[in-house]
């Protein structure tokens, strides 16, 4: 059975949204969990040729020239060079890693099935701490001094002191919190099964507001003035005014809008069902560029110049970095 079909079946089959924006070329590299492969260009329509089975879901940039990928079915994380796309190392973590965050010095991993959060050295990949977090830890971010974890099974967020690993609080939220973002003062939580986003005070976890968004909110990002939410089932982005939750706009993107990031000027979304990544004009909400990827991209990260997307269905990572800058040797997964 087609892996893309399985990915979409987990959430629902969505109607494809056709974009008039240009379709650009992305490069695809293999992170971990399958056979040996070489890097290939996906072009505008050609699917990735890699056959990895690690199920990469989360991806994060560490600010030091590497992206890290969580391979949930092989219980590993992979480190990839952003300079040439080479796979540098793969490290064992907990059971079903689905969330990643970076504080610059450490990589934080949310392990869904063994209810732990791990801290890894960003230099060596060694596990420096393992913290029990009950309730199905999934999404994870670092707000500067605290780590926040969204727990999918008990509908809560957990606040952890980044410097000590101590749990500072557990706070109830909506059903199946998937996306997390910080605006510097408040935490924003996308409640996937409630079709809402919540605003919590970062200081004490108090709920300051609950706001309706699209169907199946998945990712959240802050652009410095607005909150953006990707809506998986609606195939859209919702832009929100942080002060009062007022909806500033709803904008169509691709099928299965999932992971969301901000590049300093524009939001980017991974469209799991459309097999692409889209860049959105923040002023108008119009799609300004579309990049084809591998099968079933779930998450997207930005390295300061290029995007990197984890392709759940094909076990690969796609990037907008030009092919001439990427390694062409085989990468052992």
Dihedral Cα 275, 315, 155, 165, nearest 10 deg:
-130
- What's the average model confidence in pLDDT over 144-162? 97
Helix (H) or strand (E) holding 7: helix 3-9
Q: Is the pLDDT of residue 16 over 60?
A: no
| Average pLDDT score over residue span 18-43 | 39
The SS3 assignment for 323 reads helix
CB 257 within 8 A of CB 268: no
Which of 288, 199, 187, 186 has the alpha carbon at shortest distance from 237? 288
Return the H-helix or E-strand segment holding 8. helix 3-9
Please give the domain boundaries of the chain with CATH numbers for all domains. Answer: 17-325 (2.130.10.10)
pLDDT in the model for residue 101: 98
Q: Is the pLDDT of residue 273 over 60?
A: yes
Confidence of residue 267 (pLDDT cuts 50, 70, 90): very high
Are the beta carbons of 255 and 295 closer than 8 angstroms? Answer: no
Contact 19, 286 (CB under 8 A): no
Determine the average pLDDT of the residues in 256-263: 97
Answer whether residue 332 shows pLDDT above 50. Answer: no
User: Residue 113 pLDDT > 70, yes or no?
Assistant: yes
Question: Is residue 162 predicted with pLDDT exceeding 80?
Answer: yes
User: Contact at 8 Å (CB) between 231 and 217?
Assistant: yes
Average pLDDT over residues 191-196: 98
Specify whether the CB–CB gap between 268 and 261 falls below 8 A.
yes
The predicted-structure confidence for 115-147, as pLDDT tens digits, reads as follows 999 999 999 999 999 999 999 999 999 998 999
Q: Using alpha carbons, select from 206, 259, 184, 273 the residue that is nearest to residue 229.
A: 259
Dihedral sign of CA atoms 298, 56, 307, 223 in order:
positive
Which range of 2-11, 15-24, 281-290 scores highest in mean pLDDT? It is 281-290
Query: In which band, very low, low, confident or very high, does the pLDDT at 30 lie, cut at 50, 70 and 90?
Result: low
Write down the pLDDT at residue 322: 80
Between 101 and 332, the more confident residue is 101
Query: Which has more pLDDT, 136 or 35?
Result: 136
Sort residue 294 into left (φ over 0), alpha (ψ -120 to 50) or beta.
Answer: beta
Residue 65 has pLDDT above 60, yes or no: yes
How far is residue 60's CA from residue 99's CA, in Å, rounded to a whole number?
Answer: 9
Checking if the pLDDT of 21 tops 90, the result is: no
Tell me the three-class secondary structure of 57-119, residue by residue: EEEEECCCCEEEEEECCCCEEEEEECCCCCEEEEEECCCCEEEEEECCCEEEEEECCCCEEEE
3-state DSSP percent of the chain in helix, strand and coil, to 5 = 5, 50, 50
* C-alpha separations of 314 from 89, 127, 175, 258 in Å: 19, 27, 29, 16
The confidence score (pLDDT) of residue 27 equals 62
More confident position, 219 or 87: 219
């Amino acid at each position: 059975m087609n892996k893309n079909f399985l990915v979409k079946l987990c959430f629902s089959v969505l109607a494809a949204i056709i974009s008039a924006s240009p379709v650009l070329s992305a490069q695809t590299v293999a992170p971990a969990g399958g056979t040996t492969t070489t890097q290939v260009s996906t072009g505008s329509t050609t699917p990735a040729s890699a056959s990895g089975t690690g199920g990469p879901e989360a991806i994060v940039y560490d600010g030091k020239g590497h992206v890290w990928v969580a391979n949930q079915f092989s219980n590993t994380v992979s480190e990839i060079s952003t300079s040439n796309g080479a796979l540098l190392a793969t490290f064992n973590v907990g059971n079903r890693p689905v969330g990643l965050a970076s504080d610059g010095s450490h990589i934080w991993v949310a392990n869904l099935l063994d209810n732990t959060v791990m801290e890894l050295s960003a230099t060596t990949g060694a596990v420096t701490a393992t913290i029990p977090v009950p309730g199905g830890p999934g999404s994870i971010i670092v707000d500067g001094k605290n780590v926040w974890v969204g727990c999918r099974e008990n509908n809560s967020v957990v606040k952890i002191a980044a410097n000590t690993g101590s749990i500072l609080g557990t706070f109830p939220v909506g059903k199946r919190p998937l996306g997390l973002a910080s605006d510097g003062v408040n935490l924003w939580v996308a409640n996937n099964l409630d079709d809402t986003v919540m605003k919590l005070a970062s200081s004490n976890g108090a709920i300051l507001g609950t706001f309706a968004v699209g169907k199946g909110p998945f990712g959240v990002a802050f652009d410095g003035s607005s909150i953006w939410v990707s809506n998986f089932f609606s195939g859209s982005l919702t832009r929100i005014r942080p002060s009062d939750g007022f909806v500033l706009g709803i904008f169509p993107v691709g099928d299965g809008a999932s992971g969301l990031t901000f590049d300093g000027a524009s939001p980017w979304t991974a469209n799991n069902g459309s097999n692409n990544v889209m860049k959105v004009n923040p002023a108008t909400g119009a799609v300004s560029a579309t990049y084809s990827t591998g099968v079933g991209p779930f998450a997207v990260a930005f390295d300061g110049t290029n995007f990197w997307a984890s392709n759940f269905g094909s076990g690969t990572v796609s990037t907008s970095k030009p092919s001439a800058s990427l390694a062409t040797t085989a990468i052992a997964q």
